Amino acid sequence: MMTAGPLNLLTDIEGVAVGHATDLALGSGVTAIVFDEPAIASGSVLGGAPGGRDTALLDPSMTVQVVDAFVLSGGSAFGLDAAGGVQAGLREIGRGFQVGAVRVPIVPQAILMDLLNGGDKDWGLHSPYREMGYEAFRAAGAGPFALGTVGAGTGATTATFKGGIGSASARTSAGHTVAALMAVNAMGSATVGDGPHFWAAPYEQDGEFGGLGLPEKFTEGHSALRMKGVNLKATTIGVIVTDAALTKAQAHRLSIMAHDGLARAVLPAHLPGDGDTIFSAATGARPLGDMTAFAELCHLATLVTARAVARGIYEATALPVPNAQAAWRDAFPLPAK
């Protein structure tokens, strides 16, 4: 049986900190994932319209093995400034890859498209994302962090309901922890048809996104194409992290398995207008063991990613702007406690 960590968040993994910068008026934000020590890292891009910074170095064949942080941001290509803010914060504390007398923080980034969500994007000459990146870095902590309409998920939308930040964790039978953090901004839908049920329902733990299960009966309409719009760009971006000791090639495989989770939670995923990108990292705190242990880790990477996607929709609230996309909670209010 799958067991979530004590927080059911990415920060269930020791040595991982998460921080958000959120601007509701802008309708956008930044999320920083910072490692206490450089972590073995990789990632994979399966969407047709990605945007990123320093993503090529994550290929298993490339020289650099470790990263200091990952950045997820709104703002489309403008948001790529955010990594500079996180890099500045890391440089400030003496982190980075040693090149002679200089340290260069390694900070890959992925962005999502949130420019058309109704927020005020008239920011003047320079975008606000570098400063937001620094703010997210400064806010990064090892404990609980907010989900929903925060950080990189602030302006996220989907075909049916408001998107947002979601996270989930699990432990393997050997005691390794694996966890995902996703900023859900999909072209497709995380919910079944027009109802409240989540495609990820079979993997839900402890009612983390409502405990509604799946519909009693599926109809043809449930799987009909629901898409955000014609000629729009989207992107679900995220990270999958474990405390196991992995090689860079194994970390790459973990990111591919996480994409399987995205495809189980969003219908359809990986469209030509999606930029679906998932980074992966291993802190190396626990020896891996045999190939069976790695297979279980990969399996759980799929499941925690699916759960994180559903939690991102479940926890989101609508932006406080005119004609904002409704949140799942607007359509299906939670019972009073």
Pairing assessment for the beta strands 277-286 and 28-45 based on DSSP bridges = antiparallel
Above 90 in pLDDT, residue 159? Answer: yes
Q: What is the pLDDT of residues 76-110, one digit of tens each?
A: 999 999 999 999 999 999 999 989 999 999 999 99
Above 70 in pLDDT, residue 337? Answer: no
- CA dist 220 and 204 (Å) reads 24
Domains of the chain from N-terminus onward: 10-330 (3.60.70.12)
From the number of C-beta atoms within 10 Å of its C-beta (0-12, 13-18, 19+), residue 265 rates as buried
- Residue 97 three-state SS: strand
Structure tokens at 68: 């200091």
Q: What is the pLDDT of residues 15-35, one digit of tens each?
A: 999 999 999 999 999 999 999
Closest listed residue to residue 228, CA positions, set 291, 262, 272: 272
Q: What is the pLDDT of residues 268-307, one digit of tens each?
A: 999 998 999 999 999 999 999 889 999 999 999 999 999 9
Helix count and strand count (H, E) for the chain: 5, 11
What was the pLDDT predicted at 257? 98
pTM value is 0.96
In this prediction, residue 5 has a pLDDT band, given cuts at 50, 70 and 90, of confident
145-162 CB burial, b ≥16 within 10 A, e <16: bebbbbbbbbbbbbbbbb
8 A C-beta contact, residue 239 and residue 18: no
